[in-house]
């Protein structure tokens, strides 16, 4: 069963992401949610989601660090990480790619694009 993890410290962004992706529940996708990087890492270790929507600026541990640990230390290359951030500068995109992010999307994002990307990654 495919799994998606949504990680963002802002409740309204988490809700928007859940609402955008909720139709995937009908196709058997399980959802997990985390408010910070530490909780996200714990869920990733336990659940091994196929797709993670990961905010950059968060308390306890930022998204770049979470991504680096997942991809380099835990070597979970099969976990597809989409960095979601308000930081759209080229420097930030490079930092995201260097930390191991598979895709880097800036906020505000188009919900339809997000859903389409999730379907593509999960093969739905």
**Residue 60's Cα: distance from chain center in Å?**
17
pLDDT of residue 59: 86
Q: Which CATH class is domain 3-122?
A: alpha beta
pLDDT of residue 88: 61
pLDDT of residue 82: 95
- List, for residues 18-47, the tens digit of each pLDDT value: 999 999 999 999 999 999 999 999 999 999
Sign of CA dihedral 11, 12, 13, 19: positive
Backbone angles phi, psi at 69, to 5 degrees: -65, -45
pTM of the model: 0.92
Q: Which residues contact 86 (CB under 8 A, 6 or more apart)?
A: 57, 106, 107
């Amino acid at each position: 069963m495919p799994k998606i993890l949504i990680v963002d410290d802002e409740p309204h962004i988490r809700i928007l992401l859940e609402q955008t992706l909720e139709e995937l529940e009908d196709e058997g996708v399980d959802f997990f949610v985390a408010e910070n990087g530490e909780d996200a890492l714990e869920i990733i270790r336990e659940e091994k989601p196929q797709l993670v929507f990961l905010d950059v600026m968060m308390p306890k541990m930022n998204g770049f660090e979470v991504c680096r640990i997942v991809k380099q230390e835990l070597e979970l290359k099969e976990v597809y990480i989409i960095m979601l951030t308000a930081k759209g500068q080229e420097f930030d995109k490079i930092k995201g790619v260097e930390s191991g992010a598979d895709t880097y999307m800036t906020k505000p994002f188009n919900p339809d694009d997000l859903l389409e990307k999730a379907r593509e990654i999960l093969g739905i």
